[in-house]
Amino acid sequence: MHKIPDDVIAAVLSRTNIVEVVSKYVHLTKQGKYLKGLCPFHSEKTPSFTVTPEKQIFYCYGCGKGGEAFKFIMEIEGISFPEAVKLLAEDSGIPVTWERAEYIQDEHAEERRQLLSAHELAAKWFHYILMNTEQGKHALEYLRSRGFSDKLIEAFQIGYAPQMWDALTQFFEKRAYPLPLMENGGLLTYQDERDQYYDRFRDRIIFPLHDDRGQIVAFAGRSLQPDVQPKYLNTPETLLFHKSRLLYHLHQAKSEIRKSNQVVLFEGYVDVIKAWDAGVLNGVASMGTSLTEEHVKLIRRHASRVVICYDGDDAGVNAAYKSLTLLEKAGLVVNVAILPDRMDPDEYITRYGGDKFRLEMIQGAISAVRFKLDYLKRGYKLSTEDGRLGYIRATMRIISALPSPVEREYYLKDLANEYQVSIDSLKQEMFHVIEKTQKKKQDGDNIGKPWNNGMNDRREEATRPALRPAYYNAERNLLAAMLQDASITQFVQERLGDAFNIDAHAALAAFIYRYYTEHDALELSTFLVMLQDEELERLTTAISMLEVAKVMNERALEDHIIQIKKAPMLLAIEHKKEQMHRAERSGDVQRAVQIASEIITLEKKLKETQQ
For residue range 297-353, list pLDDT tens digits in order.
Answer: 889 878 889 999 999 999 999 999 999 999 999 889 999 999 999 999 999 999 999
Residues 416 and 444 in one domain: yes
Residue 37 vs residues 49, 78, 258, 326: alpha-carbon distances, Å:
5, 20, 12, 19
pLDDT of 57 reads 95
Domain-located, residue 463: no
pLDDT of 403 reads 86
Ranges of residues in the chain whose predicted pLDDT is under 70:
1-3, 97-107, 288, 441-467, 549-550, 609-611
SS3 60: strand
Element (H or E) spanning 66, and its range? strand 66-67
Residues 42 and 134 in one domain: no
Residues 280 and 343 in one domain: yes
Q: How many domains does the chain have?
A: 5
The burial of 500, by beta-carbon neighbours within 10 Å (0-12 exposed, 13-18 middle, 19 or more buried), is given as buried
Residues 295 and 386 in one domain: no
Residues 391 and 297 in one domain: no
Cis peptide before 178 (omega within 30 of 0): no
Domain-located, residue 268: yes
Residue where one domain finishes, among candidates 241, 262, 279: 241
φ, ψ of residue 210 to 5 degrees: the values are -105, 150
pLDDT of 460 reads 35
Residues 291 and 311 in one domain: yes
CATH of the domain at 477: 1.10.860.10
Residues 597 and 494 in one domain: yes
Q: What is the per-residue pLDDT across 425-436, written as a single tens digit (0 to 9) for each?
A: 999 999 998 888
Domain-located, residue 457: no
Residues 148 and 60 in one domain: no
End-to-end CA distance of the chain: 48
pLDDT of 420 reads 92
Model pTM score: 0.68
Separation between Cα atoms, residue 249 and residue 269, nearest integer Å? 8
Domain-located, residue 458: no
Residue where one domain finishes, among candidates 47, 77, 102: 102
Residues 32 and 94 in one domain: yes
Residue where one domain finishes, among candidates 81, 102, 123: 102
Residues 366 and 391 in one domain: no
Residues 383 and 326 in one domain: no
* Start-end of H helices in 59-166: 69-77, 81-91, 109-132, 137-145, 150-155
CATH of the domain at 350: 3.40.1360.10
pLDDT of 583 reads 80
Domain that holds residue 431: 379-449
